[in-house]
Structure 1
């Protein structure tokens, strides 16, 4: 009886060690996404069920990007991306990704700038990480769930989620209204790759119709941090404002089961309002309460109850 009990205890211990090792590998893979990078963006449409469909031109571009870790707790890792342009003289706060472990609540994109709160079961998210992607103004973009896989020295995470149109097409196209993203992230010797197999969807009350499929490759190649000097100075000046912005958005998300955003208010986009507030916060004496009040006022102006 004692031998059986001891054997069972050893098996349980071994399982716990393996589970912890997997969890630690997950966390290390996520944190490896942070760093200083040269990024190349390549997208091309590959297929359409409509024989008369005219494929759009390929999209190719490159930029420098700094991805920095804002929060590193056991079950949550927050990474902010900053776009570095014109050498190191122009900084744009870019997208943000929050990684949460076994998170049972997400905002799922529907259509027409509308996200709906969805609650999942513990079994649905067991051992999985959610990547919550936010736009430049920290409004939602998409949230996807997947399992990190670590095999033969390779580290990979896959997911699928609906999102609004990408920025590269948002102001140029109206022939579809949902981008169904097939996302694969994997680490490389020089950084990491963000590979996409996307479907451009026309979503209506009668259902979804596939317009075209697209292949995307975003390659993040590590580069010299010395060329990001101004970016680091810029973020030190702005980071308090954006911390307040994130916390204000979290309150808004908690208060609403549906987030529906209006495109423009007073002929201004939401991110234009946020960038102006961020710049204003640098010039004025810091007041977090006042800052959050201003951010909330802006968000509510764009938040539709309809």
Structure 2
């Protein structure tokens, strides 16, 4: 009996240690995600590296891109299992652009995976598949879906990063210029550094047709460098968000209702010859939820 009690006590102790270790790891993950918030000088760099087009004589690779900007990243929401980070691009004190948004969900099992033609497939993952992992959900400037992926944060040998590969629509720097591919397979690495953080990408430009094997047209390298600066440099964005947060909360709430249906989603590219972001950006901060709901509903392709 004494031996059995000792074994039971040892098992309970090991289980408590495992739970404690998992909680410590989760807190490190949260600290890494939250450290991406604040005011940053950003360098956006993209270069096409390899081409695989059959017609090499007429193939035109994308130009190498170097852009710079100042961004405020606002922690919009924080709960034990979710962090919401909104990027705001500062063009000038009088011109703030609502940029992309990234949500981080702990051990999330509901995923929307990009397919083609503004279509996202709903996938239900098992709890075992996502144990200890964080899903990064990335949204367009109008809070419509972009891409999602799940992976574990890694904290080892002084390195602090998260890496995942997933499919996405063409980026804004490409979709008005390129018609020769229709999916971007992105390997995203978010790494925390002593001066801020890096968003590194290794991307495949994919030609995808239903029921056919994907064709890799070209590859590209992306390195976006976020260098932390004083928050006071981004005061214009902070003030803008205070004035406009209500409008975008209504937009997010509507999208969350749509995502909660847990079914495939297809969106129109334009309504009344305008993209969704244009219609929403034209609204005043005082616009009602009824107005934003109606605009978003008009882009949902009914089955």
SS in 2 for 1:122: coil
**Alpha carbons 2:72, 2:89 under 8 Å: kept:** yes
Counterpart position of 2:285: 281
- Aligned match for 1:155, one of 160, 168, 171: 160
Q: TM-score, normalised by structure 2?
A: 0.94
Paired residues for 1:9-24 under 5 Å:
9-24=12-27
Query: Residue 294 of structure 2 corresponds to which residue in structure 1?
Result: 297
Q: How many angstroms apart in 2 are the aligned matches of 1:224 and 1:281?
A: 27
Q: How does 1:228-239 map to 2 (within 5 A)?
A: 228-239=234-245
Distance 1:148 1:255 in 2: 28
1:111 aligns with one of 111, 116, 137: 116
Paired residue for 1:45?
48
- Tell me, what secondary structure is at the counterpart of 1:264? coil
Task: Write out aligned runs for 1:219-258 (5 A).
Answer: 219-255=225-261, 257-258=263-264
- Find 1:193's aligned residue among 182, 190, 198: 198
Q: Distance in 1 between matches of 2:11 and 2:149?
A: 37
1:36 equivalent among 34, 39, 42: 39
Q: Which blocks of at least 5 consecutive residues in structure 1 are unaligned?
A: 285-290
Give 3-state SS (helix, strand or coil) of 2:128's partner: helix
Alpha-carbon distance between aligned partners in 1 of 2:195 and 2:285, rounded to the nearest angstrom: 37
Residues 56-89 of structure 1: CA deviation (Å, up to 9, x unaligned): 2101101000111111111110001100013x32
1:102 aligns with 2:99: no
Deviates more, 1:39-48 or 1:257-266: 257-266
Distance 2:252 2:25 in 1: 30
Q: Residues of 1 paired with 2:222 and 2:285: CA distance?
A: 37
- TM normalised by structure 1 equals 0.93
Query: Alignment RMSD, CA only?
Result: 1.4
Residues 1:168 and 2:173 are matched in the alignment: yes
Q: Give structure 1 regions of 4+ aligned residues with deviation exceeding 4 angstroms.
A: none
Q: What residue number does 1:208 align with?
A: 214
- 1:256 offset after TM fit, Å? 6.0
Structure 1 residue matching 2:214: 3-state secondary structure: strand
Q: 1:142: which partner in 2?
A: 147
**What's the counterpart of residue 126 of structure 2?**
121
Give the deviation of 1:9 after TM superposition.
Answer: 2.8
Q: From the two aligned structures, give the one with the greater helix fraction.
A: 1
Aligned-partner Cα distance in 2 for 1:103–1:4: 34
Aligned residues: 296
- Asked whether the equivalents of residues 39 and 233 of structure 2 are also in contact (C-alpha less than 8 Å), the reply is no
Aligned-partner Cα distance in 1 for 2:48–2:294: 40
Q: Match of 1:287?
A: none
Q: Deviations over 1:169-202 (max 9, x none)?
A: 1111111000000011110000000000000001
Deviation at 1:123, TM superposition (A): 1.4
> Quick one: distance in 2 between partners of 1:92 and 1:4?
61
Q: Can you give the 5+ residue segments of structure 2 that lack an aligned partner in the other structure?
A: none
Q: CA deviation at 1:144?
A: 0.7
